[in-house]
Amino acid sequence: MYIKPSGEDQETDVVVIGTGPGGLSSVGSAVAAGAEVIAIEAHDNIGGNGLLSTGWVIFVDTPMQRSQNIQDSVDLFMKDCKKLVDESSLIYGLVWDEKLSRIFAENSAEMYEILTKRGVRFDRLIKRPLQTSVDRLAAVEDTKMFPAAFERDFAGPHVKTYLQCSAQRLLVEDGVVKGVRVQPRDGSRSFIVRARKGVILATGGYQANPALRRHYQVDKTAMDIYPGLPTCRGDGHLLGQALGGDLVNMTMIPPIIAVASHLTESAIAVNISGCRFHDEAGPYLDRVKALEWQNQQKGFYIFDGKTFADKRFYVDQMPGERDSAATLEELAAKIGVPGDALTLSVQQWNNFLASGTDQEEGTGRVQFAPDRRGIIEAPFYSSPMISGVSLSVGGFVTTETMQVVDVFGQVIPGLFAVGDCAGGLTPTAEMGGTHLGGGFVLGWVAGRAAATGQNSLPHTSATFGQSMDQRVQMSGPIINVAAAQI
């Protein structure tokens, strides 16, 4: 049920703060386990950033893969994760929870079946050969299917949902999290929601909060544009941190070019010379680096009228001024690139798509729209390539059942974190689909654990009290520089 706040205090079994993928799944799981739930959502509707996403979700060894003779396994997934984490560790300080990642992989096929039985339709697998050994990234037909899959829970008698409300403080009694103080957006009186069994933090990331990002980024990048909702401001991170929750991977807010993957499938990018210069659908960091190498660090996405009409939802999310023209030559003049070069780039792209070849020579590109339709239908559009940041990666250390662990290595009783509030799985973000997939899979784990009380002990080391011996162990003889003969 969707409830308008009256200012009166409430009590329930499980409180879920946030209704993105992690919150949706937590609610569904807790209800399935027989719990009464109150959900608190800062936005106008349920669904969170999942609604605005491309809708690509990572699963391991699903019926969809097997139907295409793709052999996947938990071990293969873990191998891919380690490769990506090792690469990202050269840039960020990372703490990857291998045990939790394995739990995700072992439970992901079950979540695939839960979602599909609830009406979510995945229509294809996305190719990402530089990130994954096999195709395992499933594309949803429509991201609206995500909240729709859990609407029966939210509309049912066991759930009360307060929209346009934010959590202000966690309530602690005798060391146990027992509820949350809630503030409606309209400024009306705050109220308390008490939780008999647990509180689940599912408020998303912190990419919309420049003050929090400045704790982990330099000023310039802390103000870069971000994807998704402005309500992803780190509320859950700060609420849990106030109780001593151990945050990891907070510096990993990866740079990206601000464009939806759905759009890049049907677009190319050119520099100020009108020439293509990279794989537009390749790894996110590669796209950023490729743009940095271009003259004036300028580039433009080029797409046609049909793509604009079909993918308007994603086009409208792009920053910068969009241009359009009846011909490619006119469009080139508007954006200041040579008309003949732009026309040639589009012709070469169209010829590649028409050839039926799986991989484009030169760029190595393998991902494009399923219909392989070229840039052919006027008017033609351009949108500037603008660097920003991706979804934040940092979050809490948790147990296997998603209970938050504090800096002393102890569980914070009654408190759980899922989705982008949890930090153990998300260092694998470059794989794609782990933000959504992790939210759904581990949210289901958390909801069940909170509802049933079947929790696990911490499996990680405490951050508090750690130290490193500064003495350097030398294997060779010590040289007395002052006495050395030169």
Look at residues 205, 232, 65, 196 and name the one whose alpha carbon lies nearest to residue 134.
65
In-domain check, residue 479? no
pLDDT band per the 50, 70, 90 thresholds, residue 257 = very high
Which residue stretches of 372-420 are H helix? none
pLDDT band per the 50, 70, 90 thresholds, residue 222 = confident
Q: Residue 151's Cα: distance from chain center in Å?
A: 22
Could you give the CA distance from residue 56 to residue 53 in angstroms, rounded to a whole number? 8
Could you give the CA distance from residue 101 to residue 92 in angstroms, rounded to a whole number? 19
Please indicate, yes or no, whether residues 290 and 434 belong to a single structural domain of this protein.
Answer: no
Could you give the CA distance from residue 384 to residue 273 in angstroms, rounded to a whole number? 14
CB atoms within 10 A of CB 175: 11
Please indicate, yes or no, whether residues 379 and 403 belong to a single structural domain of this protein.
Answer: no
Please indicate, yes or no, whether residues 35 and 164 belong to a single structural domain of this protein.
Answer: yes
Residue ranges making up the domain that contains 328:
256-389
Could you give the CA distance from residue 62 to residue 10 in angstroms, rounded to a whole number? 41
Residue 473 scores a pLDDT above 60: no
Please indicate, yes or no, whether residues 211 and 285 belong to a single structural domain of this protein.
Answer: no
Measured in Å, how far apart are the chain's first and last C-alpha atoms?
84
Mean pLDDT of the residues in the chain? 94
Please indicate, yes or no, whether residues 262 and 245 belong to a single structural domain of this protein.
Answer: no
In-domain check, residue 98? yes
In-domain check, residue 474? no
Which residue stretches of 336-468 are H helix? 339-355, 434-452
Residue 478 scores a pLDDT above 50: no
pLDDT band per the 50, 70, 90 thresholds, residue 472 = low
Could you give the CA distance from residue 108 to residue 314 in angstroms, rounded to a whole number? 27
For residue range 383-431, what is the model confidence (pLDDT) as tens digits?
999 999 999 999 999 999 999 999 999 999 999 999 999 999 999 999 9
For residue range 113-138, what is the model confidence (pLDDT) as tens digits?
999 999 999 999 999 999 999 999 99
For residue range 316-375, what is the model confidence (pLDDT) as tens digits?
999 999 999 999 999 999 999 999 999 999 999 999 999 999 999 999 999 998 999 999
Look at residues 223, 371, 389 and name the one whose alpha carbon lies nearest to residue 311.
371
Count of alpha carbons within 13 Å of 23, Cβ hemisphere only?
A: 33
**Residue matched to tokens 């891919």:** 80
Number of domains making up the chain = 2
Could you give the CA distance from residue 60 to residue 282 in angstroms, rounded to a whole number? 21
Lowest mean pLDDT among 39-53, 111-125, 211-225, 472-486: 472-486
The four Cα atoms 477, 478, 482, 484 give a dihedral, to 10 degrees, of 10
Please indicate, yes or no, whether residues 224 and 278 belong to a single structural domain of this protein.
Answer: no
Token pair in block for residue 439: 């939210």
